[in-house]
A and B are shown apart, each in its own frame.
Chain A
């Protein structure tokens, strides 16, 4: 356990609040609940705006799903086109379509996929677990690897190792995610074929139990590595900067003066305080990671939301697309909400109504 040091002069470092203080107290809890309620209201309004704006945007593009369906069939007739449009309500005025859609979403019905002839909720729900698995796994590992690299390079900022980490970070950050994916696929799919390059599990093998879990892990190796390379780079840059800032603080000098070991100074004191912005970033990364998942899932055939969104855009499958946008917006809003609440819990200085540093 780190010893609270230099408490009076702690503008930058943040320390865990003592029992009964800050967010841990009754007053803190009440203000936390109030803030959460306010945020919840904002979130619902935001979601409504997301639904309506997306609806208008998607429907503004020329052409409609009837053309996609006719395209898939290699031809059509006016009767078939009219029937498709009537069946899916595409012949109704746009405001009426929006009203019907918002009403059905409010009652929990996300509609029916034009393309698959299946309820959207079923299509989406089946794809949420693979995406969440890939994202949480990748984000966790990216944070661990990134922070480790950042801490290592901050220990000796001018050493070759530190420069190497910097170079890795820049390369990882600068590489487009589809390119990284394809290169990994080429290396581990063709030249050194140790990982599967497609799908989430072996459809032919029919594995069960532990074998299934291992199979999924193998299939997840390349898509997650692609996301890790991108995100670890950002975490390592942030961790390095944050660590260097904290290491120059007075309380670190005091800790060293007390004779604590370097490991303890680094991990117990500097890292603990340097983690604050990293936690914030982890929450904020959820949105970009979801966007990155569209590309990664398409490249690696990962059966998640990202791939479904890509396919649905091409097919103009409005209900599926709107459903996914709604779910992903909800996921991002929830992630940010949780980060914000977590931040208030961790940092007693973040007052109610002022908004977290995440904003």
Chain B
């Protein structure tokens, strides 16, 4: 009887192996023939980067849509749809001259009317309201000239014209009177970028194919980009190792990166993330006692060993961050207090603040929150704070949240003492920095507004001045002063730059390393020898 059964199964297994063996050979695909297969965890809602920020949308949006400008590795604007641009002397007018032969994927020409329509759309719908707040109107004297009138000087406007933030939409497609956030074209986008969307399965994958009518001759160099959305990091990494993927454009799991760096077939780079400028930090609820006392906040800053967090918890693979503006930015500084570990100073400050140690060695208790799913960057640090702050008599409990909305709900409604958080600069302080500190942005229920409830009129004044200062040197000085004040008053203790890496298969040339990295057109990327 056993022989009967085992005989049956051995035949079944043998046949299955034969079928699979033959099919493996038949179905093998050479990914390097003009095709790039990327993996990402980010699930996009749609492709319209004019009304939806975030890297999930920006990755495809920057391939499908072209923008007025693009940027190099050194933050210099480069011509893209605009072949030239010029500010008026008073800084209140910016004139763009568009290239003549740019067309959309449907063959219609790109005109200044499209630029004007896009700017209006972004101003009305984009979550980064400060980005184009200064734009009063856009004139279109001819099809290839757009004159942007500003209500006040706006030095950040050039950066706001990058591919990730200003995808030029075709007016003839979008101006139909429908709600642009739910416009059908958001899922079937028509742009003028180097690649056009040919296939999209929500939450699974999308396929971008070379647009033959792209206005830069001889580009793009790749025929096809396939982006697969893979929710599991381990699966992504194994897929890269076994050749199912050619690259992971954005990964911040440093343990995985450490492993991938040892793989001789892969290139790992941390260039190309200066633009997004993500900082990992510890935020304080500055309105809640005892954290309303600046000495208490400073004491905590002196007690946290940033070096230990970076070297041990983050395996030495991240850069430290000391101030609000991310180290990759030309406006950043390190000329601020670093708060290098000093427990004596921390204890003295707490004594001064009127919180002496009780008999049990405790001064007071605090709760620290962290963003769920950010195990490595935030949860580990939160757990570390528990033991570290005990040394200065602060009893810390770590509170977890079930999911992102639960955490965001607590933090944005000021139901927290301390929270770990990761916030993006988005290129210019006007776009991504001011929002955290300016007192007019204390808005309950809004995540990544000034949830610290930090208010200092001097800081407001400096931020407002810097936002309209066209002279780069003066602007940098204003931001330097702002950063010094914020670091001294510690509404936030800055810990590290979020360690983003791009990992690609060797043989891929011109991998994206400009300030916007993979969130910029991949029109020059190609396989060696192709």
Interface flags, B5-33, vs A, CB<8A=1, else 0: 11011000000000110011011010100
Among candidates B5, B226, B239, B446, residue contacting A77 with C-beta atoms closer than 8 Å: B446
Query: A73-B127, A203-B207, A204-B226 are known contacts. Are A63 and B405 too (CB-CB below 8 A)?
Result: yes
Is A109 at the interface (CB under 8 A from chain B)?
no
Among candidates A71, A218, A298, A303, residue contacting B24 with C-beta atoms closer than 8 Å: A218
Among candidates B230, B241, B447, residue contacting A301 with C-beta atoms closer than 8 Å: B230
Query: In residues 287-328 of chain A, which contact B (Cβ within 8 Å)?
Result: 298-301, 303, 307-308, 310-311, 313-316
Is A170 at the interface (CB under 8 A from chain B)?
no
Interface flags, A92-131, vs B, CB<8A=1, else 0: 0000000000000000000000011110000100100000
Interface flags, A146-165, vs B, CB<8A=1, else 0: 00100110010000010000
Query: In residues 35-82 of chain A, which contact B (Cβ within 8 Å)?
Result: 61-65, 67-78, 80-81
User: A202 to B27, Cβ gap below 8 A?
Assistant: yes
User: B127 to A75, Cβ gap below 8 A?
Assistant: yes
User: A214 to B204, Cβ gap below 8 A?
Assistant: no
By a CB distance below 8 angstroms, the chain B residues around A267 are 1, 4
Among candidates A63, A80, A117, A207, residue contacting B127 with C-beta atoms closer than 8 Å: A80
User: A217 to B205, Cβ gap below 8 A?
Assistant: no
Is B101 at the interface (CB under 8 A from chain A)?
no
User: A72 to B45, Cβ gap below 8 A?
Assistant: yes
User: A190 to B127, Cβ gap below 8 A?
Assistant: no
User: A75 to B27, Cβ gap below 8 A?
Assistant: no
User: A262 to B1, Cβ gap below 8 A?
Assistant: yes
Nearest B residue to A182 via CB reads B234
User: A298 to B405, Cβ gap below 8 A?
Assistant: no
Nearest A residue to B404 via CB reads A71
Among candidates B244, B410, B445, residue contacting A81 with C-beta atoms closer than 8 Å: B445
Is A194 at the interface (CB under 8 A from chain B)?
yes
User: A117 to B1, Cβ gap below 8 A?
Assistant: no
Is A359 at the interface (CB under 8 A from chain B)?
no
User: A303 to B204, Cβ gap below 8 A?
Assistant: yes
By a CB distance below 8 angstroms, the chain A residues around B297 are none
Chain A: number of interface residues, binned into ranges = 35 or more
Interface flags, B210-240, vs A, CB<8A=1, else 0: 0000000000000010101011101100110
User: A72 to B54, Cβ gap below 8 A?
Assistant: yes
By a CB distance below 8 angstroms, the chain B residues around A262 are 1
Interface flags, B407-436, vs A, CB<8A=1, else 0: 111101000000000001010000010010
Among candidates A63, A202, A207, A217, residue contacting B19 with C-beta atoms closer than 8 Å: A217
User: A308 to B203, Cβ gap below 8 A?
Assistant: yes
Is B306 at the interface (CB under 8 A from chain A)?
no
What's the nearest-Cβ distance from chain B to residue A73, in Å? 4
Is B76 at the interface (CB under 8 A from chain A)?
no
Q: In the complex, A145 Cα to B13 Cα: how many Å?
A: 11
The secondary structure that dominates the B interface is mixed
User: A298 to B27, Cβ gap below 8 A?
Assistant: no
User: B238 to A189, Cβ gap below 8 A?
Assistant: yes
Is B242 at the interface (CB under 8 A from chain A)?
yes
Among candidates A75, A126, A195, residue contacting B448 with C-beta atoms closer than 8 Å: A75
What's the nearest-Cβ distance from chain A to residue B165, in Å? 11
Is A197 at the interface (CB under 8 A from chain B)?
yes
User: B29 to A63, Cβ gap below 8 A?
Assistant: no
Chain B: number of interface residues, binned into ranges = 35 or more
User: A214 to B127, Cβ gap below 8 A?
Assistant: no
Is A215 at the interface (CB under 8 A from chain B)?
yes
Give the number of A-B contacts (CB < 8 Å).
203
Among candidates A67, A203, A211, residue contacting B409 with C-beta atoms closer than 8 Å: A67
By a CB distance below 8 angstroms, the chain A residues around B231 are 298, 301, 307, 310-311
Nearest B residue to A70 via CB reads B447
Interface centre among A62, A161, A214, A316, by most chain B C-beta atoms within 10 angstroms, is A62
Interface flags, B322-336, vs A, CB<8A=1, else 0: 000000000000000
Nearest A residue to B37 via CB reads A204
By a CB distance below 8 angstroms, the chain A residues around B31 are 204
Is A338 at the interface (CB under 8 A from chain B)?
no
User: A77 to B129, Cβ gap below 8 A?
Assistant: yes
User: A70 to B446, Cβ gap below 8 A?
Assistant: yes
Is B43 at the interface (CB under 8 A from chain A)?
yes
Is A234 at the interface (CB under 8 A from chain B)?
no
User: A68 to B187, Cβ gap below 8 A?
Assistant: no
What's the nearest-Cβ distance from chain A to residue B4, in Å? 6
User: B29 to A202, Cβ gap below 8 A?
Assistant: yes
Nearest A residue to B23 via CB reads A214
Among candidates B20, B203, B207, residue contacting A311 with C-beta atoms closer than 8 Å: B203
Is A30 at the interface (CB under 8 A from chain B)?
no
User: A73 to B54, Cβ gap below 8 A?
Assistant: yes
Is A277 at the interface (CB under 8 A from chain B)?
no
User: A65 to B405, Cβ gap below 8 A?
Assistant: yes
Interface flags, A188-211, vs B, CB<8A=1, else 0: 011001111111001111010001
User: B244 to A196, Cβ gap below 8 A?
Assistant: yes
Query: A62-B409, A74-B426 are known contacts. Are A81 and B234 too (CB-CB below 8 A)?
Result: no
Q: In the complex, A10 Cα to B4 Cα: how many Å?
A: 28
By a CB distance below 8 angstroms, the chain A residues around B1 are 151, 155, 262-263, 266-267
Query: In residues 19-64 of chain B, which contact A (Cβ within 8 Å)?
Result: 19-20, 23-24, 26-27, 29, 31, 35, 37, 43, 45-46, 52-54, 56
By a CB distance below 8 angstroms, the chain A residues around B201 are 126, 303
Is B2 at the interface (CB under 8 A from chain A)?
yes
Is B353 at the interface (CB under 8 A from chain A)?
no
By a CB distance below 8 angstroms, the chain A residues around B447 are 67, 70-71, 75-76
Is B182 at the interface (CB under 8 A from chain A)?
yes
User: B187 to A185, Cβ gap below 8 A?
Assistant: no
Is A18 at the interface (CB under 8 A from chain B)?
no
By a CB distance below 8 angstroms, the chain A residues around B129 are 77
Query: A72-B56, A74-B54 are known contacts. Are A152 and B182 too (CB-CB below 8 A)?
Result: no
Q: In the complex, A315 Cα to B243 Cα: how many Å?
A: 30
Q: In the complex, A70 Cα to B23 Cα: how many Å?
A: 45
Q: In the complex, A46 Cα to B89 Cα: how many Å?
A: 72
User: B127 to A76, Cβ gap below 8 A?
Assistant: yes
User: B27 to A67, Cβ gap below 8 A?
Assistant: no
Q: In the complex, A61 Cα to B401 Cα: how many Å?
A: 10
Show 19 A/B contacts (Cβ-Cβ < 8 Å), sorted by A.
A62-B405, A63-B407, A74-B448, A76-B127, A76-B449, A78-B445, A81-B445, A117-B186, A118-B202, A123-B203, A152-B5, A152-B6, A155-B2, A197-B244, A205-B27, A214-B26, A217-B23, A299-B232, A316-B403
User: Could you list 11 further interchain pairs (A-B, Cβ under 8 angstroms) beyond the known A63-B403, A190-B241?
Assistant: A61-B405, A63-B407, A70-B446, A73-B127, A77-B443, A116-B203, A117-B46, A117-B187, A118-B187, A197-B239, A263-B4
Question: Across chains A and B, which 10 residue pairs bring their CB atoms closest together, nearest first?
Answer: A63-B405, A214-B23, A63-B409, A67-B405, A67-B408, A263-B1, A189-B238, A73-B127, A193-B242, A205-B29
- Residues of chain B whose beta carbon lies under 8 Å from any beta carbon of chain A: 1-2, 4-6, 8-9, 19-20, 23-24, 26-27, 29, 31, 35, 37, 43, 45-46, 52-54, 56, 127-129, 181-182, 186-187, 201-205, 207, 224, 226, 228, 230-232, 234-235, 238-239, 241-244, 373, 402-410, 412, 424, 426, 432, 435, 443, 445-449
